[in-house]
Amino acid sequence: MWTNHMSKKFKGRVELVHELDGKKGDYISVAPLRPFDVTSLGTAGIDPEEYEKFTAGGYASCRPGEWDPAERIKDMDEDGVQAEVLYCGMTMLIYGHPDHEMQKDAFRAYNDWVAEYQAHDPERLLGIASISAWDVDSAIAEMSRARELGLRGVLISANPPEEMRYSNPVWEPFWAEAEKLDMPVSLHILTGVHGTGLSEDIIPSYMNLPREIATSILEMICAGVMERHPRLKVISAENDAGWIAHYLKRLDHATWRWGHRYPEMKKPATEYWRRQVFSTWQDDVPAVRTRDLIGVETLMWASDYPHGDSTWPNSQAVIETNFAGIPEDEKELMLRGNMARVYGL
């Protein structure tokens, strides 16, 4: 992808190296970021205790469906999955790159590549374009280009720069264009402009990931973005959803106390959330059990293939556990209907 699609100016900035800290494997190097292991987002179906051995195999260890759409369709069929929204895998980590022009070129390269990938079966493979958060005009241009390529939505940073928070009016033309083009806007974990949000202290930092996306979306709501753009769709992606029930309860209380300070909101903040914010999750029984508090029309199950959190190849068993005793009409919404509505399937 990087070799074939990046512009001449930036070719060679993304490299594949075969050793890191004395460990054999395949690692993508995008200086000054630390090289990242290609298998780190390709461990679907692998026991975590086997990850180190798996890493040594590099690309050869990974599911070929990661880069071959025909093989991905085979894995989807094995897992009983009819259609998938495709996020950008390794490209996510480039959201934290300090060279903004290189980042935009890398995202353009990925968007070209994923358009080719989804063309294998566009009814089942729905590509999402990566968009840089540093320049609104170029973000709008790339979103429009992605729409022309047939991509089905855009992915912006989960945690944008301080001077470009999504409450900033500079983003107003972007929201208007996303609404006009009917391009759902996703925020996915690990895509902060200052890094993934993970640290060596992995368990506490991992547990803190949902906060970044929740904060970014709530800033949009409080700034009146959803009030001005009632058809804008925002996706909290791979961010679980069981936490949302309590979050919305606390948000109702916060709005009761301080809502008068946010005149751009004409309704309670939770009304905007339940109307326009959609959440994806893989294995989250609390989300299903609190669906009435969250809004069953906003929940979308995902398999997270081919990442380590993926339910592949056991998605049907996970679904059976998550949805035990759930009415069929509500199950249908969360497994298929909501996604079909959001993406116009």
Sign of the CA dihedral running 305, 306, 311, 315: positive
Which pLDDT value is given to residue 54?
Answer: 86
Number of domains in the chain: 2
- Give me the pLDDT at residue 43, please: 87
Alpha carbons 335 and 170: distance in angstroms, whole number: 36
| Predicted pLDDT of residue 48 | 87
Q: What is the pLDDT of residues 126-163, one digit of tens each?
A: 999 999 999 999 999 999 999 999 999 999 999 999 99
Residue 271 lies in a domain: yes
Residues 248 and 177 in one domain: yes
Which CATH number does the domain housing residue 225 bear? 3.20.20.140
**Of 25-39, 129-143, 267-281, minimum mean pLDDT range:** 25-39
Boundary residue ending a domain (32, 61, 90): 61
Q: Give the mean pLDDT of 256-279.
A: 98
Share of residues in the chain with pLDDT > 70 (%): 100
**33-37, 232-236, 264-268: the lowest-pLDDT one:** 33-37
One domain, residues 235 and 194: yes
Residues 46 and 63 sit within 8 Å (Cβ to Cβ): no
> Is the same domain home to 43 and 95?
no
So what's the pLDDT on residue 151?
Answer: 98
Q: Per-residue pLDDT averaged across 238-248, rounded?
A: 97
Measured between alpha carbons, how far is 187 from 192 in angstroms, rounded to an integer? 9
Q: Are 166 and 136 in contact (CB under 8 A)?
A: no
Strands of the chain, DSSP E: 15-20, 23-29, 36-37, 84-86, 125-127, 129-130, 154-156, 185-188, 234-237, 277-281, 299-301
Q: Does 193 lie in the same domain as 151?
A: yes
Q: How far apart are CA 130 and CA 92, in angstroms?
A: 8
DSSP, collapsed to helix, strand or coil, labels residue 329 as helix
My answer on whether 40 and 79 are in the same domain is no
Q: What pLDDT is stored for residue 249 in this prediction?
A: 98
Residue 336, pLDDT above cutoff 90: yes
Q: Are residues 113 and 181 in the same domain?
A: yes
The pLDDT of residue 4 is 83
Other Cβ atoms within 10 Å of 271 Cβ, number = 16
3: in domain = no
Q: Clarify whether residues 53 and 137 are in a common domain.
A: no
Specify whether the backbone of 89 is left (phi greater than 0), alpha (psi in -120 to 50) or beta: left
Q: Are residues 45 and 163 in the same domain?
A: no
Last residue of a domain, one of 61, 93, 115: 61
Whether 34 contacts 27, CB under 8 Å = no
Structural domain contains residue 6:
no
Do 132 and 244 reside in the same domain of the chain?
yes
- Paired tokens of 61: 């260890």
Q: Would you say residue 29 lies in a domain? A: yes
- pTM for the whole thing? 0.96
What does the pLDDT read at residue 1? 83
**Domain hosting residue 43, numbered range:** 16-61
Distances (CA, A) of 303 to 54, 64, 86, 114, 246: 21, 17, 11, 19, 24
The domain boundary, picked from 44, 61, 78, lies at: 61
Q: Does residue 90 share a domain with residue 36?
A: no
Tokens representing 54? 């798996």
In a domain, 142, yes or no: yes
Q: What is the mean pLDDT of the chain?
A: 96
Residues 46 and 86 in one domain: no
What tens digit of pLDDT does each residue of 68-78 get?
Answer: 999 999 999 99
SS3 88: coil
- Assess whether 193 and 216 both reside in one domain: yes
